[in-house]
Amino acid sequence: MSDKSLSLSLRLLYNETPTLSYAAFEKNDAMAQSFQIEKVSESANELVIKVGENKATFKKVAAKTDFDYEAYQTQAELFMGQEFFTFRHEAVAETKDHNNYIEVNVETDAEGAFLQIQALFFATMYQTDAQAPVGVHLMENGVLLSFGDFAEFGINQVNAWPMYCAWFNICAAEKNEKVTIYTKGVKKLGEKDLEITVKKKNMDVATKFLLNLTMNSLSTTSSYKDQETTTNILNGKEYEFTKKKSKFLDAKVLELEKW
């Protein structure tokens, strides 16, 4: 796990002009039981506060956030019907008409990735409690969540390891009846991203397998290394890791043996 300081951001998407107000944050009695907040500065479109020991900046922008909806729709179609931890098709449908967003950036010196991601989500909760968005976009990892999914993982699970499911992404690329499934955003949490290529018919079980490996590496002291076998067994077979340059990420990943 990583102990370095991080600057983390996400965008809250709205179908109408959102309200951004320190006065609304101060009225959040539930959050006040856990944190002391302090206003650093406030203008019509920007609010800077301290949440405990962390600095959070909220910027209101009257525009659509810039991302490729066609690519997000393709991902939604690839994962459609899977018992998966985010409902991508709902996120695409619910955010397609948004016309405003609030960008939340948190600078934190918290020790360890868990507390750093938690700091981002805790700060975000001040705004989502004041005015719920239609979706949440984590730009760095290409994660687009419906607000329902963000509430389930980024808010309701904010004190537990499933919180990571609102941060990192699992993506898929299809070619010649095979699908390469890979993680994005795990590297920033101090572990290697993972990748596996399977026949398309095996995509569902491979996705769950990759998710389990990722969560195991993030929530325990396990750290998967080159040529190390894992106790995660699929179809009675153990898998070895080979370090390689990913076609989809600008980084080295640990590729699982293909089947």
Domain boundaries, the chain: 6-166, 169-256
Report whether pLDDT(233) > 80. no
3-state secondary structure of 50: strand
> Residues 156-177: what's their mean pLDDT?
90
Mean pLDDT (the chain, rounded): 85
Pick 249 or 169 by higher pLDDT.
Answer: 169
With cut-offs at 50, 70 and 90, classify the pLDDT of residue 18: very high
Report whether pLDDT(161) > 90. no
Interval 35-80: pLDDT, tens? 889 999 999 999 999 998 899 999 999 999 988 889 999 888 888 8
- Residue 46, classified by CB atoms within 10 Å of its CB into exposed (0-12), middle (13-18) or buried (19+), is middle
CA separation for the pair 246, 206 (Å, rounded): 18
Report whether pLDDT(223) > 70. no
With cut-offs at 50, 70 and 90, classify the pLDDT of residue 101: very high
pLDDT at residue number 84: 62
Highest mean pLDDT among 57-61, 108-112, 149-153, 172-176: 57-61
CA separation for the pair 127, 150 (Å, rounded): 13
Structure tokens at 28: 């959040």
Interval 178-197: pLDDT, tens? 999 999 998 888 888 888 88
Residue 220, amino acid: T
Report whether pLDDT(250) > 70. no
- The CB-side HSE value for 162 (13 A sphere, CA atoms) comes to 11
pLDDT at residue number 1: 40
Report whether pLDDT(245) > 60. yes
With cut-offs at 50, 70 and 90, classify the pLDDT of residue 259: very low
Report the residue count for the chain. 259
- Residue 221, classified by CB atoms within 10 Å of its CB into exposed (0-12), middle (13-18) or buried (19+), is exposed
Of 12-16, 184-188, 227-231, where does mean pLDDT reach its minimum? 227-231
